[in-house]
A and B are shown apart, each in its own frame.
Chain A
Amino acid sequence: MGMRAAHAGAAAEQVRAARIDAAERVAAAARARAADFVVLCGDTFEDNQVERALVARVVEIMASCRCPVYVIPGNHDALVPGSVWGDGSFARAPTVRVLRDESPLDAPGGVTLWPCVARARHDERDPTLWVRAPSDGRVHVLLAHGTVESVHYEEPWYPIARDCAERARVDYVALGHFHQHLEYVGGDGVARMAYSGTHEPTRFGERDPGQALLVSIEKAGDRPSIEPMVTGALRWLVVEATLREAGDVARTADAVRAMGEGAQTLMRLKLDGYLRVDEQDALVSLAEMVRERFLFGRVESALRPAPTDSAWTRDLPPGPVLDAAKLLAQWAEPSFDGRPSHVSAEVAARALLELYSMASTGE
């Protein structure tokens, strides 16, 4: 919550708002499925210094679950002085419990929770090492925030061993930190450890985000049933197209259109290849369509006029203007290496398009 969304451009506020809506869907699911309790495994907030109104709103949503909500601090919202966890709204929500100590506690449904608490942004130690659950007939659930070994993640802190569940002798390890849904199957073929992933997708290029996990364990030692529930709303799409033939612009536009309505979609369209003279207008309307159709849309074009397309030169008078066009066309080709050092292929392509547009408008 409260994340930075520079990559969403002007849609940053909507992206943040979508995460609130998704949180409400998580609470609704908890109510609908009559969950015994809800756990949040860290990084509920992007940072401890998010605005307090947001904290209050989130606590309100948590409280709306109609069941206890157990929260552990993660590395982004670590338990430090001045953290979000000191906000007064927690004190006013009796069902919301922030777990601040490494000590087991009983939760509804005969469950014992083993919370691991992050107290700093970075830590190189495995936070789960203290847990050794007894065989007392209760269902033991470990809550941790960290990086399971072999996961490649940009914040490789709080390492957690793959055999954490076996070693800690717990029935389930609920993990936070990694943005995508990921389950770990133990030596006995049973998955007792999982990342739910974020409840709402965060950025372009993520796999399987926007879910919450409904985990059911009948009794101690039973195989947990893990049911992913979609809670996310936004789609983050990256479409790459290389234009080669006549009609490719229109085809690309069709493909984009086929992706459906866009109020919940963020789109990055990357175009490469050659632009035909008669498809310039089509390209302009494609760019407009991408911008208008989606919550956020951006066209990143590396297109350049096709050197073999004589239609481009039709409007150019012979002499210096045509010479200049030929030179620019050569420079616009990314693979060409005789370009002056101060000129990039992108700028040359753009210059060439400028020249063509002047030639066609000046008639």
Chain B
Amino acid sequence: MIVERIAIEGYRCFVKSATVAGFGAGLNVVSAPNGTGKSTLFEALRRALIDHHSVSGVEAEKMRPWGRSISPSVTVDFAHGALRYRVHKRFLDDPSCELSRWEGDDFVVVDRGERADEKVRSLLSRPTAPKGLSREAHWGLAQVLWAPQGMIELGPLGPELATRVRETLAAQVVGARGAEIERMVEERFRAFFTPQTAKLKAGKKAPELVRRSEALALAKTAVDRARERHERAALTQERVGALRAELVRAERERSERGAQLAEREASLRAFDAKVSARAEAEQRATVAEAGAKSAKVELDAWRNGKAQLQERERRQADAVIALALAKARRDEAAVEVAAASERESRAARAHGALSELERLYRAARERARAEAVLADCDARIAAIDLEILRVEESRAALVPDAPTAADVASMRALEAARSSAKARLDALALTVTFDAKSPVTIEHEGEAKALSAGETLTLRALGALSAALDDRVSLTVRGPLSGPDAREAEESLQASAAALGALSRRFSASSADELDSLRAKAAAASMELRARERGLSTLGGAQARLALIERCREAVSTLELVVTDDRSESALAAELERARIDAEASGSIRTSAEARRDAERALAEREVAVAVAEERVSSCERATGEARAALDELARRGKSEAACQDAFERAALSLDVARVALSKSALELEGRAEIERAVREGVAHCARAEADALALRDAARTEEGRLDELVSGATFTVLARAEEEVTRLESEVARLEVEAEAVKLLREVLVRCRDEAIAKVSGEVERAAGRILGRIATGSSLEVELGETFAPTRAWVGAREGEGVALERLSGGEREQVHFAVRLALAEVLASEERPMVVLDDVLVATDNARLARVIEVLEDAAKRMQVIVLTCHPERYATAREATWISLAR
């Protein structure tokens, strides 16, 4: 589409009519200062070409010049292909649209109203705007080709437009021939399937396959029905067969039951005949029994009499033997009584001896105990006496005025003082030592001392010392005079000697050690006394002694009282043991007395037994006599024994015969009740068998009726025909299914291959945009990635490697250049069919002049394939354009 002229009236700032004309087919630069309605012109162009003439609403109201009620109108002349058109739209009040075509000398109306709207839109771009123009996404192709003021950025394309772009790309990939085939495939597909869900179509437009499948389903139902009937026929046949077999069995059962019943009734009659026969036999048996009984009585009289006599004789003999036995037992008992008396007296003796010995033994033990007590008391008294004596001795050994430890201490102190004083005096004294080489006598202070050879003598004196040696030598030694020290030592010596003397005298001890020894001795004596006193008190002291003396006295009186013989206690103990054994051996006195009494009682009993036995012997003799008399009486009175025997045997024989006959009939006659029950059961069985057979006959008849009905329906023939129909339809459906599946598969594969090819081609758009960018920014090329909706998403500076840069991270200039390049690249791709029109309204404002110069070159190049309209308020920026048509709105 190439816009040639735009006329506008009553539209926003254009209250009066205004016309912009002279657009070229290539690059057009429309210049106008700010506020001269450049963008209004652009909007009016858009409304004229895209919008519905009947548009309304707040947004549309803005078309009306401010404060006026006139209706805006726009007229655009444009060329499309070889034809020229004019569209005139009037908005808001009394809206209208009119599309005219240039026919030689004038524009002639081709369409009006909505249809004219539609036609214009289709000339401009295929996907038409469905709603108002407030959203860019509704602009259709204009979204790509028209950049509104300052809005070079290309948002995501609307879904239809994205599809259109993709289709356009695909058309390039596929080519016209391929598209034609694709269209045919799609058409073929839609003959079978719904395009969205890819399901087989239903209803009036359903393919043959669906109709055949439905027919097949129906045919299958018919088969199911026919098969059900056919199977029912088979089942009914089986049932009839079973019922007939059952009926045969039932009939047999019925006749068997009848025969059985007749048999049972016959046996009942036979039974009753036997009952009367038995009564007769019973009668005969009774008579025979009576005869046998009387014969037996006679015979038994004989037999019993004889047996009785024998028995009584035997008893008599027994009684005689019993008497002898009783007597012998009585004699034995008398002997036993004597022996028991003897044992009793022996036991009495043994027990007497034992008691005496026990008494003696107890006395001996008592005496021994008393003697022991006496000895013990004596010993303890002696011990106490000894202790008393010792206490006396200790008490006597006690020293009356014994030195104390203090005394010892003071004496030691005095001795120390004395020796100290003596030492000090010694230190002050003159000392002369004589060492004899040969015997010599030394006289000193009037005292002579003879020394043998080798002896020494040392002399000491204060101040001066004189000695004479064997009267031959007189020696005097003088020293310096001793001062107060000597005096003081002298005094101390004398004082301590005096005190020591006093103490020595008092305790008759010459030294402190001696004094200490005295003190120790006194202390030991005192301790000894205390120990003895403690010992004495342990023994009980004098009181205990008195008690002991008392006990001695008691023991002595005991000894005097106890009587005993000379035997010792142990001897007595041994004898006592022996006597005890004796006593035990002869048993207790009471036991032996009882034994004796028992023996006496036994003797008395046996005496009685003897008497009884004698009595029994005489009674048996009497009975024997009686029995013998009875037999004699029997013989005298009637038949002999042999005759009786003979009569009895005959009677017994006839009784046996009668009894055998009776028992035989008895055996056969048991169980009449059972036979009667069997007959009753037989009757019931017959009735039941009859009923069963009848029921079966009815059931068989019913089933046969059913079978006849099914048979006349020829179920197999019907089934066979139905199955044939199903098979025929199945093969047809299978054939159609293959066809449908094949068409589906063909479309699926084709769509897949096309999508793959398009994916390759949208790479072409990216590359084209990249080439444009390369031309704009020589030196630093940019690569671009397009998203699913063809909006650029990322860019790479230089080669397309790594993550790239998100578009919003680019500088403003670069970003608008990217969008510009993508728009242009898309326009190039879409330009394949009809020369498109690109409108750029004051865009690329952030692009520097150097780059803009290269943008202009790019635009000039693009203008060979499309109309480019640039609206700007800075026409000087496009001064480098060589082949532009310049249009100024200032006028």
Q: Is the CB of A327 within 8 A of B749?
A: yes
Select which of B178, B184, B230, B708 is within 8 A of A320 by beta carbon: B178
How far apart are the CA atoms of A80 and B750 in the complex, in Å?
63
Q: Is the CB of B720 within 8 A of A4?
A: yes
Q: Is the CB of A359 within 8 A of B742?
A: no
Q: Which chain A residues lie closer than 8 Å to B754 at the CB level?
A: 320
A151 at the interface (CB under 8 A from B): no
Q: Which chain A residues lie closer than 8 Å to B714 at the CB level?
A: 49-52
Q: Is the CB of A351 within 8 A of B746?
A: yes
Query: Residue on B with the closest CB to A347?
Result: B741
Q: How many residues of B contact A (CB 8 A)?
A: 53
A93 at the interface (CB under 8 A from B): no
B542 at the interface (CB under 8 A from A): no
B interface, by DSSP: helix, strand, loop or mixed? helix
Q: Is the CB of A354 within 8 A of B746?
A: yes
Q: Which chain B residues lie closer than 8 Å to A80 at the CB level?
A: 237-238, 240-241
How far apart are the CA atoms of A2 and B724 in the complex, in Å?
13
Q: Which chain B residues lie closer than 8 Å to A344 at the CB level?
A: 741
Interface string of A317-328 (1 = CB under 8 A from B): 111110110011
Query: Residue on A with the closest CB to B187?
Result: A358
Q: Is the CB of A319 within 8 A of B185?
A: no
B198 at the interface (CB under 8 A from A): no
Closest Cβ–Cβ distance, residue A117 to chain B (whole Å): 14
- Contact A351 to B181, CB < 8 A, known contacts A49-B710, A49-B716, A54-B717: no
Q: How many residues of A contact B (CB 8 A)?
A: 47
Q: Is the CB of B738 within 8 A of A347?
A: yes
Q: Is the CB of A81 within 8 A of B704?
A: yes
Q: Is the CB of B174 within 8 A of A317?
A: yes
How far apart are the CA atoms of A321 and B749 in the complex, in Å?
9
A3 at the interface (CB under 8 A from B): yes
How far apart are the CA atoms of A46 and B723 in the complex, in Å?
15
Select which of A5, A346, A362 is within 8 A of B724 by beta carbon: A5
Q: Is the CB of B184 within 8 A of A362?
A: yes
Q: Is the CB of A2 within 8 A of B720?
A: yes
Q: How many A-B residue pairs have CB under 8 A?
A: 153
- Contact A82 to B175, CB < 8 A, known contacts A49-B711, A52-B714, A320-B750: no
Query: Residue on B with the closest CB to A46?
Result: B716
Query: Residue on A with the closest CB to B715?
Result: A49
Q: Is the CB of A82 within 8 A of B707?
A: yes
- Contact A346 to B738, CB < 8 A, known contacts A82-B711, A320-B173: yes
Closest Cβ–Cβ distance, residue B531 to chain A (whole Å): 129
How far apart are the CA atoms of A276 and B130 in the complex, in Å?
51
Select which of B710, B741, B750, B757 is within 8 A of A82 by beta carbon: B710
Select which of A3, A50, A82, A319 is within 8 A of B173 by beta carbon: A319
How far apart are the CA atoms of A52 and B718 in the complex, in Å?
12
Q: Is the CB of B244 within 8 A of A355?
A: no
Q: Which chain A residues lie closer than 8 Å to B723 at the CB level?
A: 4, 6
Q: Which chain B residues lie closer than 8 Å to A50 at the CB level?
A: 714, 716-717
Q: Is the CB of A82 within 8 A of B240?
A: yes
Q: Is the CB of A317 within 8 A of B745?
A: no
A47 at the interface (CB under 8 A from B): yes
Q: Is the CB of A48 within 8 A of B741?
A: no
Q: Is the CB of A321 within 8 A of B745?
A: no
How far apart are the CA atoms of A359 and B240 in the complex, in Å?
67
- Contact A350 to B241, CB < 8 A, known contacts A81-B704, A324-B749: no
Q: Which chain A residues lie closer than 8 Å to B716 at the CB level?
A: 2, 46-50
Closest Cβ–Cβ distance, residue B54 to chain A (whole Å): 42
Q: Is the CB of B717 within 8 A of A7?
A: no
Q: Is the CB of B177 within 8 A of A317?
A: yes
Q: Is the CB of B184 within 8 A of A358?
A: yes
Give me 22 A-to-B residue pairs in the complex whose CB atoms sit less than 8 angstroms apart, sorted by A's number: A4-B720, A5-B720, A8-B724, A46-B716, A48-B711, A48-B716, A49-B230, A49-B711, A49-B713, A80-B237, A81-B237, A81-B241, A81-B244, A82-B236, A82-B704, A82-B707, A320-B750, A321-B178, A327-B753, A328-B746, A348-B742, A348-B745
Q: Residues of A at under 8 Å CB distance from B?
A: 2-10, 12, 46-52, 54, 80-83, 86, 316-321, 323-324, 327-328, 343-344, 346-348, 350-355, 358-359, 362
12 further A-B contacts with Cβ under 8 Å, apart from A54-B717, A316-B181, are A4-B720, A4-B724, A9-B728, A46-B720, A48-B233, A81-B241, A81-B244, A82-B711, A319-B757, A324-B746, A346-B738, A358-B185
User: 7 nearest interchain CB pairs?
Assistant: A350-B742, A49-B716, A51-B714, A47-B716, A6-B727, A81-B240, A320-B753
